[in-house]
A and B are shown apart, each in its own frame.
Chain A
Amino acid sequence: MSQTLSVAIVRRTALIVTGIFLYLFVTSHLVNLILGLISVELMDAARPWLSGMWSGPFTRNILMMSLMIHFFLALYSLYLRNTLRVSTYDAVQLGCGILIIPLLAPHVTGIAATEQLGAPTSYIYLLPYFWVDSPGDGLRQVILLTVVWLHGSIGIFTWLRAQEARRSILVVAYPVFVGVPILALLGYVEAGLQVIPQDMGGSGAALAQVEAVFESFSFPDDDVIASVVETKFFLDRMIVWGSLGLVALVLLLRYRRISLLPRDETVNVIYSDELPSTISAGSGLTLLELAREANLPHASLCQGRGRCGTCRVRILSSTSNLPAPQQLEQKTLSRFSCPKDVRLACQLAPGPGRLELERIVAPDYSDLEIHDAQARARQPEAAE
């Protein structure tokens, strides 16, 4: 096996690394919001440590770059997808991913505009804006938070679940996945209630501080504000339509790519294990995608990213052309020290013909631990 890293592995690794980085950023941002459960003052006090540290010139650039890399790599993955009939997790992640940039743009440009105007970006200054002056924007923030968190959590969740060694982390991760956004949203609501006047249904507890902030700060001329706001909205439109346009373009290209694929030749896949079944479909899809289109149960913890190896199948007999495993597949297979006739269903796209195989891990994962233990036992021998 050659030691040079294949493009697919690099892409996958880059996606997860940037993803984790962005997720950490979002998490610290949300932790800051959680403090709103106590008081707005505390939120602002902790801001330099939680949200603020990401807005330094250096970190900000890295963040932006990560976002761009993540976005474009994801677009490329979308382009490579053979079918859009994916699992629920993938579908939610994909949908949320498409929505993130349009929802995020006004927030980012808004913060930039606030800084440009010289106004503080503190919570005590911004919360009244979101809760009283422009509640529509406040709602958008909540949706953004939900969407971002869903997208990121699904990514991290599938990544953690994919490898047996990481699965133990999940115990810690579960409460984070659910607790952080809930507490953050509740903090956001609680902080909001403090800055909403009493006659509008809030408690108005922090109104005095709000007054103080507004008094301490003098707005620039109306002309300046108008131009800054205009630029912000222009940028918003650009980013929103630009990103959506990119997604549409990628989808179009993907459609064209798929329409060029030869799918008129049929492949017959025969599962002869505890759940015997037969698929007859056009070739060109991977085995996992075929199974999913035929609504056949198939184990796949990483949703077909070639990470987990739970989708591996043993080829019993085949008349169809089976492409040799790529490096990405080979890497996972060697982790389980699999013999030659074992392949990953999510990577193997059989050519036209007849294929008889059996799933190695039961679709309900009932024997997953046994297989993992066996793989562990074999590992030392393979290493020698």
Chain B
Amino acid sequence: MSMAKGNFAAFLLMFALVSVPAQAQFLPQSGESAETPAVPAPSPNDIKELNRLLADEGVQQWLRDAAKDEETLADETSQSPREIIEAGVARIGERASLMSQAVLMLPTLPSFLVEEWREGLTSAEKVRGATLLLIFIIVGAGLEWLYRQSVRLPLLRLEQTPSRGPMARVTSAGQRAALIFAGLGIFAAGSIGTFAAFEWPPLVRAMLLDLLAILLVFRALQTVSLFFLAPFAPALRLVPWTTGLARAVHRLLTVATAVILIFSVVYFFFDRIEELGQTAGEDMEVAMTSAALVLGLCQLAVVLVTIFAAGRILPRYLPVESNYDPRLWRRRQFILAIVSILAFAAWVLEISGLFWGLVIFGPLPLMLIAVRAWIDHFFNQATDAIMSQHQADFDVALEEFRQEVDKIEDEAERAAMVEPEMPHLPDPYPVARPILQRAVRFVLILCAIFSFAAIWGVNVFDPDASPLAWGLRVLFDSVVVLLLADLIWTWARSVIDKRLSDYRPPEDGSAPGPEARMITLLPLFRTSILVIVLSMVALTIMTSLGINIAPILAGAGILGIAIGFGTQSLVRDIVSGLFFLIDDAFRVGEYIEVGSLMGAVESISVRSMRIRHHRGKVHTVPYGELKSVTNHSRDWVIMKLEFRVPFETDLQLVKKLVKKVGAELKANDHYGPSILSTLKSQGVRRMEEFNMVVGVKFMTKPGEQWLVRRDAYQKVRDIFEANGIRMAERNVKVEIETDPSKLTEEEKHAIAAAAQEASQPPAGPPKPIPDEP
């Protein structure tokens, strides 16, 4: 019983946070607890005798055997479901008969209690207890008042500074809660400290402690409510509510917790009466059950009234534009009410598992919904703040722009100025929001499971426990693993998705940046993370179920080797693909050359990549086939051009003209910036039979060279023509020594044939290979 008490404050705190009926403290009492105090303490002689016996080896051996027997016995009983059910039914039957007796006793209950109360404590003791309680409270309150005086101004400042965004609001609310909680701590230290300084009869001590604890719990709950609702400081309110609504909720919570705690105090008194009671045994048990029944009913009533009062009062304060759905609201109320009633029934029948299950897990979904909405509200607020800042910045920029435009005198020019559009601002919290929501959900569910396990006295980490504990542990492990996996997966997915969605594909003609490689790798990572997480979840759950996963792992290993041999080329493709990606040999969008194939990388998969030839053909190349990759889209490209000019051309002039063309090209708006080193003459590259070959070259960013080359050719030709430089043509000079008019037809034909032959291109150096798509 003392354990239940010890847990009480902590649990009560938690339950009140969850706005769960505080019936919690009515932990069903078994019959023995009433009789425990009747057993006299062992005398020192008995203890000495016991120690002597325990030291004896024979006795130790016998004890061990007996314990073993009992274990097997216990195993047998636990193994038969029929017996378990029978025992359970019998227990519930006993409980029901006790309940009926308790109901019959109801009319005489008050007089019985009064009698016991009177016998238990003299009136002097009672009044002295009250006096002392008052004194402790005064001591605590006095010290707290002094403290509050010292922090009064900071507190006022916190409450009255207008809010500057949600994060600042959380910080301020947290600071205020910390200040108030520190005061509460001082109150507790002052009151309980003075209490502890006195010597007490055990009964008075227990009662006063109960009262002080209840008072502290009440005040702590108040502070928590203040932290969230801030009914008197709108600047610190963490819920999206109006002052009226926050105040109404705060009041409702205050009244409900106060009433429930007062009932708890009464219950504690009954409890103490039971401890010190003069009437032992059956009667007392019936009376206490009866009293507890009454109190339980009262608490149930308070809970139900609170639930329905909330439904009545709160909508009145909701702002008109809120999306309040009365049907949903009513349904939730109804569910909560049903859960409370069922929990009460379970408590009456002493089915503690069901009771605690309902109390803890009943309101959990609603809480999860509420917390989710709450976090959403927060992020929405933060996003709104950022958006409005963005809008304000843009407005300033727009205003400046308009002033600029107004200064322009020319009408046409003014019309040409287009007002800028507001740049799109992406969601600032694409990762934090889902992560925080998952994390809070994780913590909540974990708390629920932990408290459920703790109430059942099950240590989820104890390896050899009962089947129930085993089941709970499996459940616990599975849920924890699933939630963790969910957390990791959500994090990974949202981070990867954000990077993917942030990626802007390179504009036509410009080279893709380093981010392009991540775009090829990230989907791979995402899939692998999903596979790894899923398999780890499966393995962990199997382990906690007690399945030995070592053979599975070994089998998977062997299978892996077998499959590896069978699909050698597949493995080679995948592995070499991975290395190509790590080497950053190519990225999506780059123009590459693989063996005899050329084209732009269109997509990259695990096994192969797809290359699109510039004439539309699509090549699929497994990575395993790649020996070397030539990438045409990296950093820079040099292009060399040649012009054939007659021998009499002025080379100085050519050089000057080429330089001029180079400057023109560089000045081009469109591709000028992509030219890294503009067109320049390299002089005569070689002499040929009939002409000189003048070389020129330029360097651009990859992908830009074609356009530049086109213009370079055109401009050079034009400028040469304008300056009287002709391009060399293949011509054959036929020298006729006789008078041409005297040539016969036959001779003319022979001359033409010879000239024809001479003008055929020589079988000399090979033509340059076309190097463009």
Q: How would residues 116 to 132 of chain B score, 1 for a CB under 8 Å from any chain A CB and 0 otherwise? A: 00000011111110111
Are B139 and A182 closer than 8 Å at their CB atoms? yes
> How many Å from the CB of B229 to the closest CB on chain A?
14
Which A residues are in CB contact (< 8 Å) with B62?
Answer: none
Q: Of the 9-residue stretches A236-244, A263-271, A360-368, which lies at the interface with chain B?
A: A360-368
Q: How would residues 181 to 218 of chain A score, 1 for a CB under 8 Å from any chain B CB and 0 otherwise? A: 11001100100100010001100000000000000000
User: If the complex has contacts A132-B124, A366-B157, are A295 and B138 also in contact, measured as CB distance less than 8 A?
Assistant: no
Are A135 and B143 closer than 8 Å at their CB atoms? no
Say yes or no for B185: interface residue by CB 8 A criterion: no
Are B124 and A178 closer than 8 Å at their CB atoms? no
Are A200 and B127 closer than 8 Å at their CB atoms? no
> How many Å from the CB of B773 to the closest CB on chain A?
68
Question: Size of chain A's interface in residues, with CB distance under 8 A?
Answer: 32
> How many Å from the CB of A300 to the closest CB on chain B?
12
User: If the complex has contacts A138-B127, A364-B157, are A146 and B132 also in contact, measured as CB distance less than 8 A?
Assistant: no
Q: Which of B122, B132, B162 is the one whose CB lies under 8 Å from A275?
A: B162
> How many Å from the CB of A319 to the closest CB on chain B?
28
Q: Which A354-384 residues sit within 8 Å CB-CB of chain B?
A: 362-366
Are B201 and A182 closer than 8 Å at their CB atoms? no
Are B153 and A178 closer than 8 Å at their CB atoms? no
Q: Which of A135, A178, A275 is the one whose CB lies under 8 Å from B142?
A: A178
Nearest chain A residue, comparing its CB with the CB of B135: A185
User: If the complex has contacts A174-B149, A186-B194, A200-B122, are A135 and B132 also in contact, measured as CB distance less than 8 A?
Assistant: no
Q: Which B399-457 residues sit within 8 Å CB-CB of chain A?
A: none
Which A residues are in CB contact (< 8 Å) with B126?
Answer: 135
Which B residues are in CB contact (< 8 Å) with A175?
Answer: 146
User: If the complex has contacts A189-B198, A275-B162, A366-B153, are A135 and B146 also in contact, measured as CB distance less than 8 A?
Assistant: no
Are B145 and A178 closer than 8 Å at their CB atoms? yes
Which A residues are in CB contact (< 8 Å) with B201?
Answer: 201
> How many Å from the CB of A53 to the closest CB on chain B?
27
A281 to B688, CA, bound (A): 105
Which A residues are in CB contact (< 8 Å) with B324?
Answer: none
Nearest chain B residue, comparing its CB with the CB of A297: B160
Are B153 and A365 closer than 8 Å at their CB atoms? yes
Say yes or no for B232: interface residue by CB 8 A criterion: yes
> How many Å from the CB of A37 to the closest CB on chain B?
12
Q: Which of A143, A174, A364 is the one whose CB lies under 8 Å from B156?
A: A364
> How many Å from the CB of B215 to the closest CB on chain A?
16
Most buried by B among A177, A178, A363: A178
Which B residues are in CB contact (< 8 Å) with A192?
Answer: 128
Are B138 and A182 closer than 8 Å at their CB atoms? yes
Say yes or no for B243: interface residue by CB 8 A criterion: yes
Interface residues on B, range: 20 to 34
Q: Which of A132, A142, A200, A297 is the one whose CB lies under 8 Å from B135?
A: A142
Which B residues are in CB contact (< 8 Å) with A143?
Answer: 134
Q: Which A226-264 residues sit within 8 Å CB-CB of chain B?
A: none
Q: How would residues 160 to 184 of chain A score, 1 for a CB under 8 Å from any chain B CB and 0 otherwise? A: 0000000000000011011101100
Interface of chain A: mostly helix, strand, loop or mixed: helix
Which A residues are in CB contact (< 8 Å) with B159?
Answer: 297, 364
Which B residues are in CB contact (< 8 Å) with A364?
Answer: 153, 156-157, 159-161
Are B157 and A138 closer than 8 Å at their CB atoms? no
Which A residues are in CB contact (< 8 Å) with B156?
Answer: 297, 363-365
Say yes or no for A131: interface residue by CB 8 A criterion: yes
User: If the complex has contacts A185-B138, A364-B157, A365-B156, are A200 and B131 also in contact, measured as CB distance less than 8 A?
Assistant: no
A175 to B145, CA, bound (A): 11
> How many Å from the CB of A327 to the closest CB on chain B?
31
A126 to B541, CA, bound (A): 74
> How many Å from the CB of B128 to the closest CB on chain A?
6
A200 to B204, CA, bound (A): 12
Say yes or no for A136: interface residue by CB 8 A criterion: yes
Which B residues are in CB contact (< 8 Å) with A201?
Answer: 125, 128, 201, 204
Which A residues are in CB contact (< 8 Å) with B132?
Answer: 189
Are A136 and B127 closer than 8 Å at their CB atoms? yes
Q: Which A9-49 residues sit within 8 Å CB-CB of chain B?
A: none
A107 to B322, CA, bound (A): 59
> How many Å from the CB of A173 to the closest CB on chain B?
10
Q: Which of B122, B125, B135 is the one whose CB lies under 8 Å from A186?
A: B135
Q: Which of B131, B142, B149 is the one whose CB lies under 8 Å from A139?
A: B131
Which B residues are in CB contact (< 8 Å) with A142?
Answer: 131, 134-135
A90 to B131, CA, bound (A): 26
Q: How would residues 150 to 164 of chain B score, 1 for a CB under 8 Å from any chain A CB and 0 otherwise? A: 000100110111100
> How many Å from the CB of B246 to the closest CB on chain A?
11
A258 to B126, CA, bound (A): 45
A297 to B204, CA, bound (A): 44
> How many Å from the CB of A22 to the closest CB on chain B?
20
Are B153 and A135 closer than 8 Å at their CB atoms? no
A185 to B133, CA, bound (A): 11
Are A200 and B160 closer than 8 Å at their CB atoms? no
Nearest chain A residue, comparing its CB with the CB of B198: A189
Nearest chain A residue, comparing its CB with the CB of B231: A295
Q: How would residues 281 to 308 of chain A score, 1 for a CB under 8 Å from any chain B CB and 0 otherwise? A: 0000000000000010100000000000
Nearest chain A residue, comparing its CB with the CB of B125: A201
Which B residues are in CB contact (< 8 Å) with A139?
Answer: 127, 130-131, 134
Which A residues are in CB contact (< 8 Å) with B161?
Answer: 364
Which B residues are in CB contact (< 8 Å) with A138?
Answer: 127-128, 131
Nearest chain A residue, comparing its CB with the CB of B122: A200
Are B160 and A182 closer than 8 Å at their CB atoms? no
Which B residues are in CB contact (< 8 Å) with A297?
Answer: 156, 159-160
> How many Å from the CB of B33 to the closest CB on chain A?
26
> How many Å from the CB of B24 to the closest CB on chain A?
32
> How many Å from the CB of B161 to the closest CB on chain A?
8
Which B residues are in CB contact (< 8 Å) with A366?
Answer: 153, 157
Which A residues are in CB contact (< 8 Å) with B143?
Answer: 178
Which B residues are in CB contact (< 8 Å) with A132?
Answer: 124
Q: How would residues 261 to 290 of chain B score, 1 for a CB under 8 Å from any chain A CB and 0 otherwise? A: 000000000000000000000000000000
Nearest chain B residue, comparing its CB with the CB of A135: B127
A358 to B159, CA, bound (A): 19
> How many Å from the CB of A155 to the closest CB on chain B?
15
A330 to B10, CA, bound (A): 56
> How many Å from the CB of B196 to the closest CB on chain A?
14
> How many Å from the CB of A364 to the closest CB on chain B?
4
Which A residues are in CB contact (< 8 Å) with B142?
Answer: 177-179, 181-182
> How many Å from the CB of B151 to the closest CB on chain A?
12
Are A181 and B131 closer than 8 Å at their CB atoms? no
> How many Å from the CB of A109 to the closest CB on chain B?
20
Q: Which A66-90 residues sit within 8 Å CB-CB of chain B?
A: none
Which B residues are in CB contact (< 8 Å) with A179?
Answer: 142
Nearest chain A residue, comparing its CB with the CB of B243: A295
Q: How would residues 690 to 726 of chain B score, 1 for a CB under 8 Å from any chain A CB and 0 otherwise? A: 0000000000000000000000000000000000000
Which A residues are in CB contact (< 8 Å) with B157?
Answer: 364, 366
Which A residues are in CB contact (< 8 Å) with B162?
Answer: 274-275
Are B127 and A363 closer than 8 Å at their CB atoms? no
Which B residues are in CB contact (< 8 Å) with A174?
Answer: 146, 149
Q: Which residues from chain A sit less than 8 Å from chain B, CB to CB?
A: 131-132, 135-136, 138-139, 142-143, 146, 174-175, 177-179, 181-182, 185-186, 189, 192, 196, 200-201, 274-275, 295, 297, 362-366
8 contacts between A and B (CB under 8 A): A135-B124, A138-B131, A139-B127, A143-B134, A274-B162, A295-B243, A297-B159, A297-B160
New A-B pairs, 20, CB < 8 Å, besides A136-B127, A364-B157: A131-B124, A138-B128, A138-B131, A139-B127, A142-B134, A142-B135, A177-B142, A179-B142, A186-B135, A186-B194, A189-B131, A200-B125, A201-B125, A201-B201, A201-B204, A274-B162, A275-B160, A275-B162, A363-B160, A364-B160
* Closest A-B pairs by Cβ, 10 of them: A135-B127, A178-B142, A364-B156, A364-B157, A185-B135, A135-B124, A364-B160, A139-B131, A139-B127, A297-B160
Q: Which residues from chain B sit less than 8 Å from chain A, CB to CB?
A: 122-128, 130-132, 134-135, 138-139, 142-143, 145-146, 149, 153, 156-157, 159-162, 194, 198, 201, 204, 232, 243
